[in-house]
Amino acid sequence: MTSSAHITLYLSTHDKIIALPSGPGRRWAETALDLAGFTQNHDRLHTLALDDQSEARQALTHLHQAARDCQVTVTTHPRPFLGDIAQMIVAALPGHWTAETEPLREQQDQHHLRDFVWETGALHRLLDTNQLGCTAILRDGGGTELLLAERPSDGAYLVGALAPSPDDVHLTAPAPRSVIASSARLAARSIQTRLLPDYERAVHISRLNEAEEDLRWAQDREPGTYDTTHLQAALYRFRAHAITFIATLRDKTTLSAEQVFFLDRMEDVLILDDLDDPDPEALAVAEAVWLVDGEELIEMARVATPPAAITPAKPKPLAAAIPPPAAAAATGPRR
C-alpha cells in the first residue's frame, strides 16, 4: 500500500531538526510528529530540539514507530533546510532584511504563491509543476518582497520578485527576471546586483507611466466635466508617486537650487495632512499645482530612472576534454 502522507526531515543549523509533513494524508503525518514530541514554532514548522541528544534519539524512534502506525513515510533530506538558506541570504543583503519560511501544506498554498510571482518565468514554472515542501519570503521592510524556492531536480535556488500591491502601483514595466544560484552566497550576490536593481527600475517606470497617464487624463478633460471621485483618486495616486519621486531625486541626483525649491514646493502642496477628509482649499491648490507642474516633476523623475542591471558576459566554454567543476555542473542554467 502506497502511503498518502510523507515527512521530510532536515538538519537545521540552529541545533534542531525541521520536519515538513506533506501529501493528501498530511494530518496523519502531523499526528505522528505530535506523538513523537515535535513542536510547532511561529512559522508553523514542526521542530525537534537537539540540546539533549538522548531525548532527541528517543523522539526520533517514537516518530518512526508512530509513522508506521499511521502509514506515513519518513525520509531525511540531504540538503540544508531552506529556511536556513533564507537567513543566510538576508544576512548578506544590505539594509534590514527579514526572512519568513512558508510551509506549503496544501497544493492550493503553492498555487496561491505562484499567482503573486511577478515574472511568469522559471520560478513561476517551478511552483506550477513541482510539489515543494516550503518556500521563504524575503522582505526589506519597505515593501519589497522576494520569494525563495529550491528546485528539486538539481538543488538550485530560485529567487524572484513578488508583485507589489495593485493599490500601490499599476504594473506596466517588464517584470524583473528571477535569479538562479547554487548557494546562498551566490544568490545574495545575484539579488543585489541584478534582481533588486531590475525590481527598482520596473517599479519606478510603472510609477512614471501611471502618473503620466493620470495627468494626461486630467489635463484632457474640459473644465467642469470632471468626475470628482475619479479626479480625487487620480490626484491621490499621483501624490503617492510624487512622494517616491521626490525622495528618489533628493537621494540619487544632484539638484540645483531651483530644483530643490521646486521639489520643496511640490511636497508642501501635494502631501495633504488628511487624505480621508482634506481641507477643500488645500485640495484645490494641490489639484491646480498637479495639473500645471506635475509634468515637470514627471520629467525630473524620468531622468532619475535607475539604470538596467548589467548582466555579466558568459565565460567562454571550457575545452571539451576538460570536465566542468562539480559546483558549476550543479548550477542550473540561467534563463
Cα-flanking dihedrals φ and ψ of residue 120, to 5°?
-90, 60
- Which has the closest alpha carbon to 8: 194, 133, 155? 133
Q: How far apart are CA 132 and CA 111, in angstroms?
A: 11
- Which has the closest alpha carbon to 191: 164, 163, 158? 158
Residues 6+ apart with CB under 8 A from 93: 138, 140, 188, 191, 192
CA distances 158 to 91, 181, 216, 251, Å, are 17, 7, 40, 31
Q: Is residue 334 part of a domain?
A: no
Q: Please write the tens of the pLDDT for every residue from 270-286.
A: 876 555 566 788 888 88
Residue 18 and residue 84 in contact, taking contact as beta carbons nearer than 8 Å:
no
Judge if 181 and 195 occupy the same domain.
Answer: yes
Judge if 230 and 149 occupy the same domain.
Answer: no
Judge if 245 and 263 occupy the same domain.
Answer: yes
What are the pLDDT tens digits along the chain (335 aa)?
456 888 999 998 888 999 999 888 888 999 999 999 999 877 778 999 998 889 999 999 999 999 998 889 999 998 999 999 999 999 999 999 999 998 887 777 888 888 999 998 899 999 988 888 899 999 998 899 999 999 998 899 999 999 999 889 999 999 999 999 999 999 999 999 999 999 999 999 999 999 999 999 998 876 666 667 888 889 999 999 999 999 999 998 999 999 999 999 999 888 765 555 667 888 888 889 999 999 999 999 999 898 877 654 443 333 333 333 333 333 333 33
Judge if 106 and 178 occupy the same domain.
Answer: yes
Q: Is 314 exposed, middle or buried (0-12, 13-18, 19+ CB in 10 A)?
A: exposed
Judge if 231 and 152 occupy the same domain.
Answer: no
Provide the edge-to-edge strand list for the sheet that holds 98-103: 98-103, 134-139, 145-150, 157-161, 179-181
At residue 94, the pLDDT reads 93
Q: Is residue 176 part of a domain?
A: yes
SS3 content of the chain, % helix, strand, coil (to 5): 45, 15, 35
At residue 277, the pLDDT reads 62
Q: Please give the DSSP secondary-structure letter assigned to residue 95.
A: S
Q: How far apart are CA 148 and CA 58, in angstroms?
A: 34
Q: Is residue 153 part of a domain?
A: yes
For residues 44-82, b (16+ Cβ closer than 10 Å) or e, as one string? ebbbbebeeeeebeebbebbeebbeebebebeeeeebbb
For residues 98-132, b (16+ Cβ closer than 10 Å) or e, as one string? ebebbbbbeeeebeebbeebbbebbbbebbeeeeb
Q: Is 33 exposed, middle or buried (0-12, 13-18, 19+ CB in 10 A)?
A: buried
Q: How far apart are CA 19 and CA 60, in angstroms?
A: 11
Q: How far apart are CA 49 and CA 66, in angstroms?
A: 19
Q: Is residue 184 part of a domain?
A: yes
At residue 117, the pLDDT reads 95
Judge if 122 and 189 occupy the same domain.
Answer: yes
The domain tally of the chain equals 3
Q: How far apart are CA 209 and CA 155, in angstroms?
A: 39
Domain that holds residue 37: 5-56+68-76
Instruction: Fill in the amino acid letter for 164.
Output: P
Residue 9 and residue 76 in contact, taking contact as beta carbons nearer than 8 Å:
yes
Task: State pTM to two decimals.
Answer: 0.83
C-alpha cell at 190: 545575484
Judge if 231 and 278 occupy the same domain.
Answer: yes
Q: How far apart are CA 180 and CA 191, in angstroms?
A: 9
At residue 318, the pLDDT reads 33
Q: Is residue 319 part of a domain?
A: no
Residue 87 and residue 101 in contact, taking contact as beta carbons nearer than 8 Å:
no
Judge if 240 and 185 occupy the same domain.
Answer: no
* Residue where a domain terminates, one of 169, 199, 229: 199
Q: Is residue 61 part of a domain?
A: no
At residue 226, the pLDDT reads 62
